[in-house]
Structure 1
Amino acid sequence: MTLKETIETNYKTSLKSKNKIEISTYRLILSSIKDLDILNRSGADKKETDDEDVKKLLKKMIKQRIESIEIYTKNDRKDLLEVEQNEFDLLSSFLPKQLNEEDTKKICIDTINKLGAESIKDMGKVMGELKKSYPDNLDFAKAGPLLKELLNK
């Protein structure tokens, strides 16, 4: 079953259980997937939307939720914070679990040693290897600054 089919199945289940938060979040996801389908079909490189496209879309939506959560936390908006947190949890459930900071650092160090990277000039090479080896598990927004710090020593 594709990721899109899984989301559609979960949407139908949430409709039956009348869970308003899940229903609205699934509608939002499915609407975005439909927009992506249209974009993929109408562009110069016509293709079907696959799981990788859906994962990228979900990551983008998660990033938006994280930004909103930070803003709502700063401004003490608990009502809006709760909605965003629920959406974040639901969106995150479709992606592999992100590695924590300690594991990310260990992987970065291992990759630097494996490639023999010595300076910041090698950052692109290391980042490329990380993206190839850990495309779904690593948060590259955290890995980038960490790599800079490790390679500047």
Structure 2
Amino acid sequence: MGLREQVNTALKQAMKEKDTARLATLRLINAAIKDQDIARRGADGDTDLTDADIMAILGKMTKQRQESVRAYEEGGRLDLAEREQREIEIIAEYLPRPLDESEVDAAIDKAIKDTGATSIRDMGKIMGRLKEKYTGQMDFGMVGPKVKERLA
């Protein structure tokens, strides 16, 4: 079962259980997926989103909510920060387990070896390979400097 079907099944279950917080988050996920469908339809005619595309959407949604949590905490709005944190937890159910530090390092080393990268000019190839295989499993903002360090 693909991610889209998992989200739709969970949405129906949340409706049955009258879990309003979960239902609202799942509807947001569905809306984001449909927005991407519509954007794709206008762009190139290929409207089929893959699970990797949906994971990228979910990763983006998670990142937005993490930024919101920080902003709400800085502003003293802990109630809103907690709500955003609950949304992050619900979204995370559909993302693969994040890699730990050693797994990230091993993935970087493997990508460097697989692409035959030797200099900083090959960074794009490495990042492309990592995004292809590990979308939703690592923070690419943290990975970029590590790749640069290894290629320097």
Moved more, 29-38 or 5-14: 29-38
Within 2, Cα distance between the matches of 1:43 and 1:68?
A: 30
Matches within 5 A, 1:47-66: 47-66=47-66
Matched, 1:96 2:96: yes
Structure 1 pair 142/5, CA: closer, same or farther in 2 (3 Å)? same
Ranges in structure 1 where 5+ consecutive residues have no aligned partner: none
Moved more, 2-11 or 135-144: 135-144
Counterpart position of 2:23 = 23
Matches within 5 A, 1:1-153: 1-112=1-112, 117-152=117-152
TM-score by length of 2: 0.83
Structure 1 pair 128/41, CA: closer, same or farther in 2 (3 Å)? closer
| Identity fraction in percent | 39
Coordinate RMSD, CA, aligned = 2.2
How many residue pairs align between the two structures?
A: 152
TM-score by length of 1: 0.83
For residues 31-56 of structure 1, give each alpha carbon's deviation from its aligned partner in whole angstroms, at most 9, with x where no partner exists. Answer: 22222222233333332333233222
Structure 1 pair 41/110, CA: closer, same or farther in 2 (3 Å)? closer
Kept in 2, the 8 Å contact 1:99–1:139? The answer is no
Kept in 2, the 8 Å contact 1:112–1:126? The answer is yes
Kept in 2, the 8 Å contact 1:40–1:46? The answer is yes
